[in-house]
Structure 1
Amino acid sequence: MFRQEITLFLSFFKIGCFTFGGGYAMIPIIQKEVIDKRRWVEREEFIDLLALAQSAPGPMAVNVSIMVGYKILRTRGAVAAFLGTVLPSFLILLGVAVFFSHISEDPTVNRIFKGMRPAVVALILQPVFSFARGLRGWEYGVFVAIAGAIWAGASPLWFIAGGIVVGLGYTYWRVKRGLGK
């Protein structure tokens, strides 16, 4: 009866267990599981889910898991995917808090965490470059320019505001010319 819910739960539990570095680091693993392995969603739909998950409050990886679960099995799927995603982190943090309160003082542990930083950065950048490959020529140029400006210290809010202005202007222009919305 609950076979699909268990499959969803275990898939996202596995993702939650083997991902270190937060929500953005989980995205390539979620992508591989739900698009490539399970074929629960198409690549284009996954990109839409990512955009929606980023606009919703809360951790992005959790939001993506909820949306994928909801797409598959509605409310039961959303709950199963949510629990599968958050339970590993919760249990790990609970174990660390209960049994290893002195962990922050251990120099070996500090060196291990510092050594993981480059891997986490690579996990975050992988989906960015993966999605950028699908862009057309001019879109790729705009993407690189905006990414470079943000990296150099420009506030992303200016790009969001600019995108809103350009989108409204373009929509107004299309409506005025009778091309629809």
Structure 2
Amino acid sequence: MWATLADLAVHNAVWSLLAVGGMNATLADIQRYAVDTRHWVTAQQFVTFFSITQAAPGPNGMAVALIGFQAAGLAGALVTTVAKIVPSALVAYFVSDWVEQRNHSRIVTAIRRGLAPVTVGLLTSAAYVFARETDVNVIRVLATLATVVVVSWTRVNPIWLVMLGGLLGVVGVMR
């Protein structure tokens, strides 16, 4: 069990530091490691955990606590949560003043410009992981594509799309 806790701590600390653009940027790697490498959760559990935390109030990154709980019980959930929060919080605390003082400097602008495409790439890989696990039939693929189109080309609040998807699931359209 100690090895699992250490594994959870190290990997979540790394993911915390790599979460440029938010925790969702690391989803593809978390899925690969937790599902494919360590088998702590199934692919379906992974999608469910992240879907639940996206819908719930609070930080969406707390899905890793559910993975930690699945892997090592309450101790796993606690270790995972601390490891996911503390490293990036410390970096933010110690770097924020430096960035604020140099907000319009060439170095800060260059860092932001360099990280933007990396973030988009990481988020795209996360979207691919979710689509691969959930789009198991034509109806679901069409729902995903329709959602992308509506979100990309309209100002419709995504919560309406979430509610519509839930309703379609309740009435049995999304099987």
Give aligned pairs, total: 169
| Larger radius of gyration between Structure 1 and Structure 2 | 1
AA aligned to 1:84 is A
Partner of 1:174 in structure 2? none
* SS of the residue 2:124 aligns to: helix
Answer whether contact 1:23 1:59 (CA < 8 A) is retained.
Answer: no
Give the 4+ runs in structure 1 shifted more than 6 A.
Answer: none
Q: TM-score, normalised by structure 1?
A: 0.82
Secondary structure at the counterpart of residue 103 of structure 2? helix
Q: What SS class does the counterpart of residue 90 from structure 1 fall into?
A: helix
RMSD: 2.2
Residue equivalent to 2:40: 40
Letter in 2 for 1:18: L
Separation in 1, partners of 2:166, 2:4: 40
Aligned-partner Cα distance in 1 for 2:18–2:84: 11
1:24-50: CA deviation from partner (whole Å, max 9, x where unpaired): 112112112211222211111111111
Letter in 2 for 1:56: A
Equivalent residue, structure 2, for 1:102 = 101
Pairs within 5 Å for 1:19-168: 19-61=19-61, 63-97=62-96, 101-134=100-133, 135=135, 136-153=137-154, 154-168=156-170
2:40 partner letter: W
Residues 1:163 and 1:16: Cα distance change in structure 2 (over 3 Å) = closer
**1:115 Cα deviation from its structure 2 partner:** 2.2
Q: What amino acid does structure 2 have at the position aligned with 1:145?
A: A
* Structure 1: unaligned runs, 5 residues or longer: 172-181
- CA-CA distance at 1:98 after TM superposition: 5.7
- Cα–Cα, structure 1 residues 87 and 35, in superposed 2: closer, same or farther, change >3 Å? same
Q: TM-score, normalised to structure 2's length? A: 0.84
For 1:18 and 1:157, the matched residues in 2 are separated by 28
**How far apart, in 1, do the equivalents of 2:41 and 2:163 lie?**
31
- Counterparts in 2 of 1:116 and 1:72: CA distance versus 1, 3 Å: same
Percent identical residues:
22
